[in-house]
């Protein structure tokens, strides 16, 4: 799959869009609005206010604005002058569309820029404040794009979003000289609804990267910076994917941290040296294909810092969202990520039950939930300052998983003793003699 050329990939995407299913009775297909990995779906059929009735006047086939004496409402319409025609048509109401996009998208996406002061004392880098860039959706332009998409039958819209740099005060001359001056990119993810231990592990994991510097030209290894994951490093036991089961282990939830780190560098356009998706789709990492699993020392996230200077990381979490802020010096590259394109859906297999001595006899434990399988594809286009484009396809395969339940049993129940059959003594004449006496003794 990875060797398919980009043209074939684009053709598949166009065909997939052309045959997207629509709900019964629908007049318009749902619209997908995108900004980086953020996706928002709005169905025009749910907003009848988007269509408004518009009065049209014409004289001998030419449109004109009628005088007030001709514009009469009511059931009785006076006779119109010869050649004058009045009709009604439906038109898209950009004001109503703006109101919807404000409620459904802008209020979730918009944010004010932060302010941060960065300093270094010895080997320690300190932050005062959060250097999170601001974002603002251009509602008027988004509404215009929506109307144009509806007229043309397009269902995918890239949102016009302005990014505002935070106020950054770098006090350390060493950091200034290494190129720490602006925000390159931000990785974000949503872990709301996580249990307590998972939230705890995410916070501990994020803190491991706060203040870390990636020198120019070096490869960043997530596992290397993360370090040991056990009780002595502050982690609690939480669910992790282990083969075909989901079981408690120290550091459960750290893939939220690695996914957050990956998204920021992937969206900026850094070369990705190593990344692996989860074996099945996990709701915390929507949309599919933007996740990055880690399991030291086997699975890692790596990327090359090919920017103009060093990179400094600031991490934090707030209201159930995790952030990686990458400070450095921007170059002229422009990057766009397009997707996900989904195919190969598979229903969960039949439920699975396993007898085990790993839990007390008579108890049960769920070690897997029903999850459908799917394949997801993204296209990343990175254009350098010379205008040269590099197109990369990123594919992720997510397995279908059954509901998997373990039942606790004893060792004897799991492995009952094998009863060997009694040997039968053969005789040339079984009808009498010693054989009959032997059988009577047995009976």
- Whether 387 and 351 have beta carbons less than 8 Å apart is answered as no
The residues of the chain that CATH labels 3.10.20.800 are 30-55+90-177
- Does the reported pTM lie above 0.85? no
- Whether 201 and 249 have beta carbons less than 8 Å apart is answered as no
| pLDDT at 82 (0 to 100) | 76
CA 423 to chain centre: 65
Token pair recorded at residue 435? 């054989």
- Whether 303 and 189 have beta carbons less than 8 Å apart is answered as no
User: Which residue, chain included where needed, has tokens 């043309």?
Assistant: 152
| Burial of 119 from C-beta contacts in 10 A (0-12 / 13-18 / 19+) | middle
| pLDDT at 76 (0 to 100) | 61
Regarding the domain delimited by 30-55+90-177, which CATH topology (the fold level of the hierarchy) does it fall under?
A: Ubiquitin-like (UB roll) (3.10.20)
Strands (E), 72-201: 84-92, 115-121, 124-130, 134-137, 156-158, 161-164, 167-170, 182-190
Helix, strand, or coil (residue 135)? strand
CA distance 134 to 14: 34
Pairing of strands 31-35, 156-158: parallel
- The per-residue pLDDT string of the chain (443 residues; one tens digit each, 9 = 90 and over) reads 434 443 344 434 443 444 344 444 568 999 999 999 999 999 999 999 998 876 766 777 777 777 766 666 655 667 777 777 766 667 899 999 999 999 999 999 999 999 999 999 999 999 999 999 999 999 999 999 999 999 999 999 999 999 999 999 999 999 999 999 999 999 999 999 999 999 999 999 999 999 999 999 999 999 999 999 999 999 999 999 988 999 999 999 999 999 999 999 999 999 999 999 999 999 999 999 999 999 988 999 999 999 999 999 999 999 999 999 999 999 999 999 999 999 999 999 999 999 999 999 999 999 999 999 999 999 999 999 898 999 999 999 999 999 999 999 999 988 888 887 777 665 555 555 555 555 555 55
């Amino acid at each position: 799959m990875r060797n398919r050329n980009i043209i074939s990939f684009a053709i598949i995407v166009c065909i997939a869009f052309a045959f997207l299913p629509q709900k019964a009775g629908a007049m318009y297909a749902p619209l997908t609005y995108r900004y980086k990995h953020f996706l928002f779906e709005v169905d025009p059929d749910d907003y009848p206010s988007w269509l408004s009735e518009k009065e049209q006047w014409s004289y001998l086939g030419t449109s004109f604005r009628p005088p007030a004496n001709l514009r009469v409402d009511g059931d009785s319409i006076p006779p119109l002058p010869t050649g004058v025609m009045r009709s009604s048509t439906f038109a898209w109401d950009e004001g109503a569309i703006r109101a919807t996009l404000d409620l459904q998208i802008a209020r979730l996406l918009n944010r004010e820029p932060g302010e941060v002061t960065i300093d270094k004392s010895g080997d320690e880098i300190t932050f005062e404040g959060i250097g999170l860039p601001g974002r603002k959706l251009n509602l008027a332009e988004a509404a215009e794009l929506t109307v144009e998409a509806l007229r043309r039958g397009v269902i995918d819209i890239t949102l016009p979003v302005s990014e505002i740099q935070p106020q950054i005060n770098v006090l350390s001359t060493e950091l200034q000289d290494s190129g720490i001056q602006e925000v390159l990119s931000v990785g974000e993810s949503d872990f709301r609804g996580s249990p307590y231990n998972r939230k705890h592990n995410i916070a501990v994991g994020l803190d491991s990267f706060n203040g870390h510097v990636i020198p120019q030209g070096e490869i960043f290894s997530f596992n290397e910076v993360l370090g040991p994951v056990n009780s002595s490093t502050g982690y609690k036991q939480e669910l992790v994917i282990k083969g075909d089961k989901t079981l408690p282990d120290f550091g459960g939830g750290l893939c939220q941290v690695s996914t957050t780190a990956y998204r920021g560098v992937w969206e900026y356009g850094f070369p990705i040296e190593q990344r692996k998706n989860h074996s099945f789709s996990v709701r915390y990492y929507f949309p599919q294909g933007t996740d990055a699993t880690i399991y030291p020392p086997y699975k890692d996230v790596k990327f090359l810092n090919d920017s103009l200077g060093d990179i400094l990381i600031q991490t934090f979490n707030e209201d159930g969202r995790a952030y990686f802020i990458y400070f450095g010096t921007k170059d002229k590259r422009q990057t766009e990520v397009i997707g996900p394109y989904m195919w190969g859906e598979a229903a969960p297999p039949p439920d699975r039950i396993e007898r085990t001595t790993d839990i007390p006899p008579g108890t049960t434990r769920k070690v897997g939930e029903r999850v459908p399988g799917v394949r997801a594809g993204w296209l990343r286009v990175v254009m350098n300052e010379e205008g040269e484009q590099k197109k990369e396809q990123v594919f992720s395969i997510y397995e279908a998983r059954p509901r998997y339940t373990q039942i606790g049993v004893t060792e004897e129940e799991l492995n009952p003793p094998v009863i060997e059959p009694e040997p039968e003594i053969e005789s040339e004449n079984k009808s009498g003699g010693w054989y009959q006496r032997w059988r009577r003794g047995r009976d």
